[in-house]
């Protein structure tokens, strides 16, 4: 065999898994990345907000909540050691309507249940919001003071360097086209190269479902791709906002549909995103007009995506009137003017003239289950030789080092690492303590 462990996907999660494994075991580890460098997709095409778990349901999303707590500590340590950007400004979550204040109160309880200190969050009345920032209109607000603006691309690079120091190998421009399992795993790369490995770990983000299906795993899941476009805000207007500005989701099942204002770690400001259904996980470029988006070439891509098995999952999802109306409505929100109109519901002073250009575009691949619903929590799948993480979405980058340690614990529990020789190195934290924090809650 060429390698003891091969990790498919060199994003922020894959690099974190490689770091923990190489710090625990004497093993020949390879990370395969289809781009020319790590962290070029989801790990950099995001808001750059290190989220605290105040808005995560401690029952339904407890894995992400625990991971986010660890991520705050571990990324903070890395930022300090490596001199990386760390702009702790916070997030102001708004109740646009009075009936949404109950949700903010629930968030305040969740923050405490998820292990946050009471001093990290504060409630504001409508009068206090107006006094805090006259450009904002809301019935009330919750300020999470410790949400932090960072550059997750830099964090991904920092974790890669730590993994390399532990002896991990990285192979770029390596797109996986096939996987065969026998006594070991054979990975077929584009260009006919083959890699033999003892174990395969799938952390491929937007491509994770496809790789799982190549292994015969997760066949009851499918996914859909949604591109989120951001717009850059004039710094003179943005400087009114020292914190990110979010709103209580209008559609809790589809939270990625609600626009917000982001303060980035470099001091710039964005608004967005849209949530446009796109045919592939790499449809980052805006095709232009509505008619160009549905050109003959794109129609073929949409058709292939919709007909992917299991087809019935998508059929059930698109049978939901709520989802269908929302998806069609997003077609009307592709332009700068339409995004500004949406933002005016809570920042009424914003105008199209304050938008100075297009920001980043990111793609979220949401996993659809057999009920035709989006999976809210990450899914872990394993067999004798492979381990997969699906539906690892927001706040994925925030919790990546904590969640990666949890994954290692689950691989240990499944027996995937039994044949490896333990060779513990000094690491960022005690991985056994991180693993225990998940297991103590029954995970």
pLDDT tens, N- to C-terminus, the chain (443 residues): 699 999 999 999 999 999 999 999 999 999 999 999 999 999 999 999 999 999 999 999 999 999 999 999 999 999 999 999 999 999 999 999 999 999 999 999 999 999 999 999 999 999 999 999 999 999 999 999 999 999 999 999 999 999 999 999 999 999 999 999 999 999 999 998 999 999 999 999 999 999 999 999 999 999 999 998 999 999 999 999 999 999 999 877 776 678 999 999 999 999 999 888 888 898 887 665 555 566 666 788 888 888 899 999 999 999 998 888 888 777 777 789 999 999 999 999 999 999 999 998 999 999 999 999 999 899 999 999 999 999 998 889 999 999 999 999 999 999 999 999 999 899 999 999 999 999 998 87
Q: Which residues constitute the domain of residue 137?
A: 91-145
Q: Is 263 domain-assigned?
A: yes
Among the three residues 82, 112, 145, which one is the final residue of a domain in this structure?
A: 145
Q: Is 59 domain-assigned?
A: no
The answer to whether residues 338 and 231 belong to one domain is: yes
Q: Is 246 domain-assigned?
A: no
Is residue 168 reached through a cis peptide bond, with omega within 30 degrees of 0 on the bond before it?
no
Instruction: Report the helix count and the strand count for the chain, using DSSP H and E.
Output: 14, 21
The answer to whether residues 341 and 280 belong to one domain is: yes
Q: Is 334 domain-assigned?
A: yes
Give the pLDDT score at 330: 78
Rounded to whole angstroms, the Cα distance separating 367 from 350 reads: 34
Burial (CB < 10 A; 0-12, 13-18, 19+), residue 280, is middle
The answer to whether residues 233 and 297 belong to one domain is: yes
**Are the C-beta atoms of 244 and 262 separated by less than 8 Å?**
yes
Among the three residues 299, 333, 362, which one is the final residue of a domain in this structure?
A: 362
Q: Is 339 domain-assigned?
A: yes
The answer to whether residues 175 and 136 belong to one domain is: no
The answer to whether residues 279 and 338 belong to one domain is: yes
Rounded to whole angstroms, the Cα distance separating 11 from 15 reads: 6
Locate 306 and state its tokens.
């919709």
Give the pLDDT score at 274: 86
Among the three residues 328, 362, 396, which one is the final residue of a domain in this structure?
A: 362
Give the pLDDT score at 286: 66
The answer to whether residues 358 and 331 belong to one domain is: yes
Q: Is 297 domain-assigned?
A: yes
CA-closest candidate to residue 89, choices 145, 30, 14: 145
The answer to whether residues 181 and 199 belong to one domain is: yes
The answer to whether residues 234 and 330 belong to one domain is: yes
Helix (H, G, I), strand (E, B) or coil at 195: strand
Q: Is 408 domain-assigned?
A: yes
Q: Is 27 domain-assigned?
A: yes
Give the pLDDT score at 324: 85
| Torsion-angle region of 235 (φ positive above 0: left; ψ -120 to 50: alpha; else: beta) | alpha
Give the pLDDT score at 441: 86
The answer to whether residues 129 and 258 belong to one domain is: no
Rounded to whole angstroms, the Cα distance separating 14 from 46 reads: 17
Number of domain units in the chain: 3
The answer to whether residues 347 and 298 belong to one domain is: yes
The answer to whether residues 214 and 311 belong to one domain is: no
CA-closest candidate to residue 89, choices 257, 246, 236, 228: 246
The answer to whether residues 258 and 332 belong to one domain is: yes
């Amino acid at each position: 065999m060429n390698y003891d462990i091969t990790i498919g996907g060199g994003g922020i999660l894959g690099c974190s898994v490689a770091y923990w494994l190489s710090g625990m075991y004497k093993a020949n580890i390879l990370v395969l990345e289809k781009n020319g460098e790590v962290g070029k997709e989801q790990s950099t095409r995001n808001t750059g907000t290190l989220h605290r778990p105040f808005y995560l349901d401690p029952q339904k999303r407890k894995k992400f909540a625990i991971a986010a707590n660890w991520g705050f500590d571990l990324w903070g340590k890395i930022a300090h050691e490596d001199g990386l950007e760390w702009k702790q400004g916070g997030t102001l979550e708004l109740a646009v309507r009075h009936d949404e204040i109950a949700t903010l109160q629930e968030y305040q309880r969740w923050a405490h249940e998820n292990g946050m200190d009471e001093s990290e969050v504060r409630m504001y009345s409508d009068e206090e919001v107006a006094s805090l920032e006259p450009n904002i209109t809301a019935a009330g607000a919750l300020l999470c003071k410790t949400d932090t603006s960072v550059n997750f691309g830099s964090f991904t690079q920092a974790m890669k360097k730590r993994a390399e120091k532990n002896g991990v190998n990285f192979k770029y421009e390596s797109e996986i086209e096939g996987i065969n399992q026998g006594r070991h795993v054979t990975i077929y790369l584009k260009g006919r190269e083959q890699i033999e490995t003892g174990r395969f770990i799938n952390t491929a983000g937007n491509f994770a479902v496809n790789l799982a299906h190549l292994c015969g795993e997760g066949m009851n899941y499918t996914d859909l791709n949604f591109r989120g476009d951001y717009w850059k805000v004039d710094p003179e207007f943005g400087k009114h906002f020292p914190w990110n500005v979010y709103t209580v989701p209008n559609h809790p099942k589809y939270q990625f549909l609600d626009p917000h204002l982001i303060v980035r770690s470099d001091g710039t400001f964005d608004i967005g995103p849209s949530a446009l259904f796109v045919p592939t996980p790499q449809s980052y470029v805006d095709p232009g007009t509505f008619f160009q988006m549905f050109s003959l070439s794109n129609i073929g891509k949409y058709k292939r995506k919709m007909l992917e098995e299991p087809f019935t999952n998508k059929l059930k999802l698109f049978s939901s009137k709520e989802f269908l109306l929302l998806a069609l409505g997003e077609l009307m929100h592709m332009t700068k003017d339409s995004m500004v109109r949406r933002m005016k519901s809570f920042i009424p002073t914003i105008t199209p003239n304050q938008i100075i250009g297009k920001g980043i575009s990111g793609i979220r691949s949401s996993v659809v289950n057999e009920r035709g619903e989006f999976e809210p929590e990450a899914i872990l799948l394993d067999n004798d030789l492979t381990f997969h993480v699906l539906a690892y979405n927001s706040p994925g980058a925030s919790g990546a080092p904590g969640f990666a340690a949890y994954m290692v614990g689950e691989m240990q529990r499944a027996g995937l690492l039994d044949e490896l020789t333990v060779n513990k190195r000094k690491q960022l934290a005690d991985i056994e303590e991180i693993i225990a924090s998940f297991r103590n809650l029954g995970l």
